[in-house]
Amino acid sequence: MALVRSGRISAVRSALDYLSSAGTGSAQAALAHELAQAGAAFYQDKPREALERMLAVRQRHGELGASHAQQDLYDQIMVTAALQLADWPRVRQLLKARLSTRIWDAATWQAYESRSRRVDEIHDAPAVRAALRWDTN
């Protein structure tokens, strides 16, 4: 992602080629390759491709040993890609799924319920960006 954001597109191709060859022998490397392709698509303004790739492996993000913050970045990319596609049902579904990952006890369950109801009312990009800033801890 950093390579694409910095404009080093030729380096992106080299990195993806390397991940592709490394991924033939390892499930983790194959997953990393898929996520790298999704990230590259997202930062190259291909939200549909990015979202489809991320959704295909979204239940496996934790297999990479990623921290909560890293996994949250994947969630944010998916929400933002769905927003770019104006896929409002998907935006709301992904926001709720993101919130649900931090339910630990009765208090966090109540916070989830409250925020989940607020997600149902989201109808514009500024509200989505605000929801992405909600504390998820």
32 vs 84, which has greater pLDDT? 84
pLDDT attached to residue 1: 55
pLDDT attached to residue 120: 94
Q: At what angle do helices 88-100 and 125-132 cross, to 10 degrees?
A: 10
The one-letter amino acid code at 41 reads A
pLDDT attached to residue 63: 79
Residue 6 burial by Cβ neighbours in a 10 Å radius (0-12, 13-18, 19+): exposed
**CA 78/CA 56 separation, integer angstroms:** 11
From 13-17, 35-39, 70-74, 105-109, the region with the lowest mean pLDDT: 13-17
Residue entry with tokens 């492996």:
57
pLDDT attached to residue 128: 95
pLDDT attached to residue 28: 82
Residue 52 has pLDDT above 70, yes or no: yes
Which pLDDT band, with edges at 50, 70 and 90, does 14 fall under? low
Residue 71 has pLDDT above 70, yes or no: yes
pLDDT attached to residue 91: 97
Residue 36 has pLDDT above 90, yes or no: no
Cα 9–chain centre separation: 21
Integer CA distances (angstroms), 44 to 8, 47, 59, 62, in order: 11, 8, 24, 25
pLDDT attached to residue 19: 59
